[in-house]
Amino acid sequence: MNPEQLLHEFHHRVRLRDRDSAAGNVVDRDGPVHRTYPPAPARSGAMIESPEGLGDAPDRWIARQVDFFRARGQDVEWKTYSTDEPADLAERLLAAGFVPDDVEGLVLGSCADLVHEVELPAGVRIREIAADEDWVRVVAMMRDAWGERADWVHESLRAEQREAPELLRAFAVEQGDPADLLAPPTGPVLSFSMLRPTPDTPFCGLWGGTTQAAWRGKGLYRASVAHRARLALDLGHPYVRVDCSANSLPILVRLGLHAVATTTPYVLRF
């Protein structure tokens, strides 16, 4: 598929059908607004999207979401895409109290383009993780990289993996014996990433990819991308979606993926 076809398929098969929701979340709609949120208001991960636009009364629909999540006492992220209507959605969200986070590129393409051989540094391996002790190590690495912004990792992602492990596959790049994945690691987590197969669609999502500063530029990210792409193909998901940073974007484009839009989270905290 060309970039326009990929974006069309992603919009209609993933966004319009609410296939991005985390396992266990409530999925509902308020008019043109798509909402998904953990049933427990104290948990993070509440999301809003408006892939159908907001019609003739955008401020009314925005205000309804503010009231809804304020009543729940639950922080929420409105995930906007550069293709969404109205064109001034960002300004309207700002006026309603939402705060923008970093802009990311929406990148789509074929998993087969990502399957390549990358030689990791000696004594470094990729290992799928699910145990609590591994998630503790991931949180430690993420805190070093992002500070308190990483606190949601164990709270939200670990809970999601427990709920539906087949829908959140997590991976650590770490120091350890590459020939024996059962052997304990010999050092901290160097890079962390996830694969999210999108149910009932040909798409999967590659998420994460945070790498310790001292280990960047050594192929860890590219190796984790290739590893997850192989698994996605084995699971029957030939197409991939990545919301990527400016650092990752040129790597993925060089590998054959297509930058089709940008996405910006607007966060409302209570």
- Whether 189 and 244 share a structural domain: yes
- Between 89-98, 99-108, 117-126, 140-149, the lowest mean confidence (pLDDT) is in 140-149
Point out which residues pair with 262 in neighbouring strands: 105
Say yes or no: 160 and 63 in one domain. Answer: no
Q: Which of 6-15, 88-97, 149-158, 223-232 has the lowest mean pLDDT?
A: 149-158
The percent of residues in the chain predicted with pLDDT above 90, rounded, is 84
Q: What is the arithmetic mean of pLDDT over 241-269?
A: 94
Identify the domain boundary among 104, 137, 161: 104
For 2-131, where are the alpha helices, taking DSSP H only?
Answer: 3-10, 58-72, 89-95
Instruction: Give the chain's domain count.
Output: 2
Could you report the per-residue pLDDT of 87-105, keeping only the tens digit for each?
999 999 999 999 999 999 9
SS3 192: strand
Asked if residue 268 is part of any domain, the answer here is: no
Whether residues 192 and 240 share a domain: the answer is yes
Look at residue 148 in the predicted model and tell me its pLDDT: 65
- Looking at residue 143, its pLDDT comes to 85
pLDDT of residue 146: 79
Shortest CA distance to 240 belongs to which of 191, 192, 207, 200?
207
pLDDT of residue 156: 80
Same domain assignment for residues 50 and 180? no
Q: Are residues 239 and 118 part of one domain? A: yes
In this prediction, residue 154 carries a pLDDT of 66
264 SS3 class:
strand
Same domain, 157 and 186: yes
Cα dihedral 100, 101, 103, 107 sign: negative
Residue 157 has pLDDT above 90, yes or no: no
Q: Could you tell me the residue range of the domain that residue 183 belongs to?
A: 111-262
Please check whether residues 86 and 115 belong to one and the same domain: no
Task: Tell me: do 21 and 93 sit in the same domain.
Answer: yes
Residues 145 and 252 in one domain: yes
Angular region, 53: left φ>0, alpha ψ -120 to 50, beta rest = left
Last residue of a domain, one of 82, 104, 126: 104
Query: Is the separation of the CB atoms in 169 and 231 below 8 Å?
Result: yes
- Token digits for 237? 């998901």
pLDDT reading at 151 higher than 70:
no
Range 154-169 average pLDDT: 88
Residue range 110-121: average pLDDT? 95
At 195 the three-state DSSP class reads strand
**pLDDT tens by residue, 181-239:** 999 999 999 999 999 999 999 999 999 889 999 999 999 999 999 999 999 999 999 99
In terms of domains, do 151 and 213 share one?
Answer: yes
> What is the residue-wise DSSP string for 103-160?
-EEEEEEEGGGG-----PPTTEEEEEE-SHHHHHHHHHHHHHHHGGGGTHIIIIIIHH
Q: What are phi and psi of 222, to 5 degrees?
A: -60, -35
Q: What is the pTM of this model?
A: 0.92
